[in-house]
Amino acid sequence: MDSGTHIGIPGNEMADQEAHNAIASTSIVTINSITFSDAKNEINSHLYNKWHSLWRKLNTKLNKIKNNINPWKNPELNRKEETILNRLRIGHTHLTHRYLMSKDEPPLCDSCSVLLTVNHIITECNKYNQYRNQFHISEQICQALGPNPQDEKNLMLFLKKTELYNLI
């Protein structure tokens, strides 16, 4: 078993002797090993749980709608619709936040004279009641902007009918 390359090198000779002793030993040695795949899965699981725990503690507009970190993907939406939906979900649209770039005052709803927000537009504004009813838009923002494909489709129809689609 010894190739002779370790001869005369004290540390290597000692390592060779210990290896020989281990092979000849009758005692049972348990070696705990973990595969790369198992380690990766364990790390990913730990990171996911940590991220999810942090997510639940956040106080953001998106967190009020989406209480977990799992992806929401609707293959029926085109890129523009996905962008609009994501802007609505985070509460930052051109309509509600363009004042930040122009350094103006935050916009007010032209019908209700209250601060113009995504929540107000989607669930509260009396101006859009008829269309919310027509397209079955929930009064609960978490459902109106949630991951249900039919709700997403109805929301896009609502935005187009109210001429808000291109303002988001």
| 131 within some domain | yes
Closest by alpha carbon to 123, among 137, 109, 136? 137
| 17 within some domain | no
**97-121 mean pLDDT:** 93
| 43 within some domain | no
Instruction: Answer for the pair 60, 132: CB distance below 8 angstroms, yes or no.
Output: no
Residue 136: left (phi > 0), alpha (psi -120 to 50), or beta?
A: left
Domain count, the chain: 1
pTM for the model stands at 0.69
Reply yes or no on whether the pLDDT at 156 is more than 60: yes
| 65 within some domain | no
What pLDDT, on the 0 to 100 scale, is given for residue 29?
A: 63
Range of the domain at 132: 75-167
Instruction: Answer for the pair 97, 123: CB distance below 8 angstroms, yes or no.
Output: no
| 6 within some domain | no
pLDDT one-digit tens code per residue, 60-97: 888 888 888 888 877 789 999 999 999 999 999 999 99
Closest by alpha carbon to 145, among 49, 72, 80? 72
| 81 within some domain | yes
Tokens 């363009």 found at: 98
Give burial (CB, 10 Å; 0-12/13-18/19+) of 25.
exposed
| 2 within some domain | no
What pLDDT, on the 0 to 100 scale, is given for residue 37?
A: 86
| 59 within some domain | no
